Amino acid sequence: MAWLLGQRLVGIVLVLFVISVLTFSLPHLAPGDLVRTLIGNRQVTPQLQEQIRAQYHLDDSLPVQYWDWLTNALHGDLGTSVQLQQPVSAVLADRRLPLTVALALLAFVVAVVTCIPLGVFAALRQRTALDTVSTTVALVGLSAPPFTIALALLYALAYYVPIFPVYGSGHGALDVLYHLLLPAAALAAGVGAMLMRITRTAMIRELDSDYVLAARGRGLSGRAVIGLALRNAAIPIVTSAGLVLTFLISGTIVVETIFSLPGLGQVLQNAVQYKDLPMLQGVTLVIAAAIAVIAMVADLIYLGLDPRVRSGRARS
């Protein structure tokens, strides 16, 4: 496992290195004057241009600029926001990043708790009304984009029937949870449908296997047989859950915008609107790092669940 963990860490480092190069280089490769972009709506004067060039070391070569930016990022310094004139890391740490993480985790919990059991029940009741209804609902959830579901829930449960708040993140733990429930449900709808279908397919395959037939022939109870099949079906389910969580990290941006949540989505939207390149680079790098770490954890859980993969990798 130590060797496999080392391989995964090396892979993550390489992926993040490539993403960091692209994140830093794209603004420099874009058409137009980078100094004018960083100045924004302020009055352009020769003194201000020289100040911007000195502040962002634009007179240095591109590799030197990248190395300075990367070393600062590794020490937690992601630069200074052009719009807010505050450190990017401080802006992200001040509730922005925690709110996005809380929303993604809440949506993940909602999807796992509701849709994985529904997938198991649908597999146990193949070709029944429950199976038909669940697969139809899952198909609708997969087909509808998150912003459509978010707008429908916002109109139905926040405007027409005012059960949940329309916008904002609230104050205090319980109030924040109350404000995040509806956005989390909108975010969990699509990924939950995906989890439900994957769980159903995996359980049907395991229930039709020979070892399940043998277990029933030995007199095992129905609950024990289901537990045995679910344990073997957990490998694709866990792998898919890890991929779903990475999707949720990026999918929060749209949902946060619709519900006016002050998370990474709002920060990224403002960074694009005001051409705040340091903020845009910082948010992109943070999201990429989070997705890479989640993918590594999902891979390690997959390796821990399937000893055949560990032994095969060890022999290779």
The CATH code of the domain that includes 175 is 1.10.3720.10
- Phi-psi map region of 172: left, alpha, beta (phi>0 left; psi -120 to 50 alpha): left
Whether 137 is in a domain gets the answer yes
Single-letter code of the amino acid located at 4: L
Q: Which residues of 244-283 are buried (b: 16+ CB within 10 A; e: fewer)?
A: bbbbbbebbbbbbbbbebebbbbbbeebeebbbbbbbbbb
Predicted pLDDT of residue 130:
79
Which residues, listed in sequence order, are joined to residue 80 by a DSSP beta bridge? 87
Residue 33 lies in a domain: no
The number of domains in the chain is: 1
Q: Is residue 8 part of a domain?
A: no
In a domain, 43, yes or no: no
pLDDT tens by residue, the chain, 316 residues: 667 677 778 888 888 888 888 888 877 776 666 676 676 666 667 777 777 777 777 777 888 888 888 888 888 888 888 777 788 888 888 767 888 888 888 988 988 888 888 888 888 888 888 778 888 888 777 777 777 888 888 888 888 888 888 777 777 778 888 888 888 888 888 888 888 888 888 888 888 888 888 888 887 777 888 887 888 888 788 877 777 777 777 778 788 888 888 888 778 878 877 777 888 888 888 888 888 888 777 777 777 666 655 555 444 4
Secondary structure (3-state) at 80: strand
Nearest to 36 by CA among 290, 283, 277, 297: 277
The whole-number pLDDT of residue 314 equals: 43
For residue 147, the surrounding DSSP H or E stretch is: helix 146-154
Residue 116 lies in a domain: yes
What pLDDT, on the 0 to 100 scale, is given for residue 169? 76
Residue at 190 is within a domain: yes
Task: Determine the 3-state secondary structure of 210 from DSSP.
Answer: helix
Residue 146 has a pLDDT of: 77
Range of the domain at 123: 99-315
In a domain, 85, yes or no: no
pLDDT value at residue 315: 45
| pLDDT score for 59 | 75
- Domain assignment present for residue 255? The answer is yes
CA distances from 142 to 145, 186, 190, 210 (A): 8, 12, 5, 32
pLDDT in the model for residue 305:
67
Q: Give the Cβ contact number of residue 2 at 10 Å.
A: 6
